[in-house]
């Protein structure tokens, strides 16, 4: 009489097949999750771009400027500067008027009156694909580490408080070959103001005084709104990625632009300072945790620039009046 059952070989084969199926299922789940994260990242950029258009429609076609003012009642040099970045001005059209109203614009973003608002988590300004083990915030210790002496505001940050950074940047300039061959991007205007001048800039479309630089009107982007980058991913700040990259200034705050609410860094925005390929360097180049970066164009469309995108194409898309003829990646 034959016994019914499995042989050891048959059992091992079944276990092997189940293991393969589970592995395939896990890969499919991970792929689906990353697809969802990429969709969220693209949606974030889309929402920000549309919000900037709403802002421009009510400010004589200008994008929001980084603005800086000095509080002459403060004796300490670091705390005396009131510096806010463009993202704060984008809050009302992003339907975050309540957060916007929490800021006291007579004081700086690190002032005790504003530090709670500055430390508000901002998922819309962060790509969900950035791994959890990469810093998504600046605290007192991190700030002191990445900021040079002239930008070290770490004493103003309470112990234990984490201030979120931003994965999406508006660029002021980029270098095609070297610093003598500067290509002007969308955000860098030509109307500089002295910090202590108390100049009223409402005639230029801004409700704030002391704007550090007024971006040009969208209508002045002669390369075309659909072929000019408005915002792009530059993820992972303040962590230099890949870890251990050489040749960077220790004043990383100057390049990363600071936490989301502030206008720290070079002209309160960011720049691409070398001809590095996409995803090679998070501090001086375009960077993300996809196989490329998402970018919002000036017409509100979001495109994906793969890591194989040639650098002259990237720079042509970043300039506002370079006169280049370039096809936008689909």
Surface-to-core class of residue 111, CB atoms within 10 Å of its CB (0-12 exposed, 13-18 middle, 19+ buried): middle
pLDDT tens figures, 137-163: 888 888 887 776 666 778 888 888 988
What's the rounded Cα separation, in Å, for the pair 308 and 297?
19
Residue 29 lies in a domain: no
pLDDT tens digits, one per residue of 59-96: 888 888 776 666 666 556 555 566 788 888 899 999 99
Structure-model confidence comparison of residues 135 and 54, the more confident one: 54
Mean pLDDT is highest, among 125-139, 249-263, 303-317, for: 303-317
The whole-number pLDDT of residue 30 equals 67
On whether residue 178 sits in a domain, the answer given is yes
| CB crowding 308-330: b at 16 or more within 10 Å, else e | ebebeebbbbbbbebeeebebee
Q: Which two tokens stand for residue 60?
A: 């004589």
The 10s digit of each residue's pLDDT in 276-298 is 889 988 877 899 999 899 999 99
**For the segment 236-274, what is each residue's pLDDT rounded down to a tens digit?**
877 778 766 655 555 677 667 678 888 766 555 677 766
* Residue 163 belongs to a domain: yes
Does residue 302 lie in a domain region? Answer: yes
Inform me whether the pLDDT recorded for 3 exceeds 90.
no
Write out the residue range of the structural domain in which residue 105 sits: 36-318
Cα separation, 43 vs 302, in Å, equals 8
Q: Give the per-residue pLDDT at 216.
A: 76
**Strand (E) or helix (H) holding 276:** none
Cβ pair 191, 267 in contact under 8 A: no
pLDDT band at 6 (very low <50, low <70, confident <90, very high): low
pLDDT over 90, % of the chain: 23
What mean pLDDT is reported for the chain? 78
Q: Kind of pairing, strands 171-175 and 270-272?
A: parallel
Residue 231 domain flag: yes
Q: How far apart are CA 243 and CA 240, in angstroms?
A: 6
Task: Please spell the DSSP secondary structure of 150-162, one letter per residue.
Answer: GG--GGGSPTT--
First vs last Cα of the chain: how many Å apart? Answer: 68
Q: Distances from the Cα of 114 to the Cαs of 21, 50, 67, in angstroms?
A: 53, 26, 16
- pLDDT tens, 209-222? 455 566 778 888 88
pLDDT digits (tens, 9 = 90+) for 154-212: 888 888 898 888 889 888 777 655 454 566 788 876 544 444 444 554 445 444 445 55
In the predicted structure, residue 225 carries a pLDDT above the cut 90:
yes
Residue 243 belongs to some domain of the structure? yes
Please report whether residue 40 resides in a domain: yes
- Closest by alpha carbon to 320, among 226, 230, 222, 232? 222
* CA 113 – CA 125 distance, rounded (Å): 22
Higher pLDDT, 186 or 120: 120
Q: Is residue 276 part of a domain?
A: yes
Q: How far apart are CA 98 and CA 159, in angstroms?
A: 26
Query: How many structural domains does the chain have?
Result: 1
Exposed, middle or buried, 108 (CB in 10 Å: 0-12/13-18/19+)? buried
For the beta sheet containing 292-297, the strands, ordered from the edge strand earlier in sequence to the opposite edge, are 168-169, 229-233, 292-297, 302-306
């Amino acid at each position: 009489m034959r016994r019914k059952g499995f042989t050891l070989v048959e059992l091992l084969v079944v276990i092997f097949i189940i293991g393969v199926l589970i592995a395939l299922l896990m890969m499919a789940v991970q792929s689906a999750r990353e697809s969802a994260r990429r969709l969220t990242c693209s949606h974030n950029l889309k929402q920000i771009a549309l919000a900037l258009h709403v802002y421009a429609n009510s400010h004589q076609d200008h994008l929001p400027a980084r603005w800086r003012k000095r509080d002459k009642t403060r004796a300490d040099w670091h705390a005396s500067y009131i510096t806010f970045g463009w993202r704060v001005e984008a809050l009302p059209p992003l339907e975050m008027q309540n957060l916007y109203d929490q800021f006291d614009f007579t004081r700086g973003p690190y002032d005790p009156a504003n530090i709670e608002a500055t430390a508000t988590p901002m998922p819309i300004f962060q790509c969900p694909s950035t791994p959890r083990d990469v810093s998504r915030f600046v605290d007192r210790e991190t700030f002191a580490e990445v900021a040079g002496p002239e930008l070290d505001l770490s004493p103003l940050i309470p112990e234990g408080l984490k201030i979120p950074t931003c994965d999406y940047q508006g660029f002021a300039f980029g270098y095609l070959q070297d610093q003598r061959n500067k290509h002007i991007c969308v955000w860098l205007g030509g109307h500089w103001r002295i910090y202590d001048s108390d100049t009223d800039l409402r005639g230029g479309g801004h409700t704030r005084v002391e704007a550090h630089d007024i971006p040009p009107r969208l209508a002045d982007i002669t390369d075309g709104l659909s072929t000019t980058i408005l915002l792009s991913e530059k993820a992972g700040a303040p962590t230099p990625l890949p870890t251990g990259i050489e040749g960077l200034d220790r004043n990383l705050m100057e390049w990363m632009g600071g936490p989301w609410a502030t206008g720290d860094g070079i002209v309160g925005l960011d720049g691409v300072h070398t001809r590095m390929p996409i995803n090679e360097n998070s501090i001086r180049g375009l960077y993300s945790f996809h196989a490329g970066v998402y970018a919002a164009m000036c017409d509100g469309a979001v495109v994906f620039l793969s890591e194989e995108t040639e650098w002259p194409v990237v720079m042509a898309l970043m300039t506002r009046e370079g006169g280049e003829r370039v096809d936008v990646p689909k």
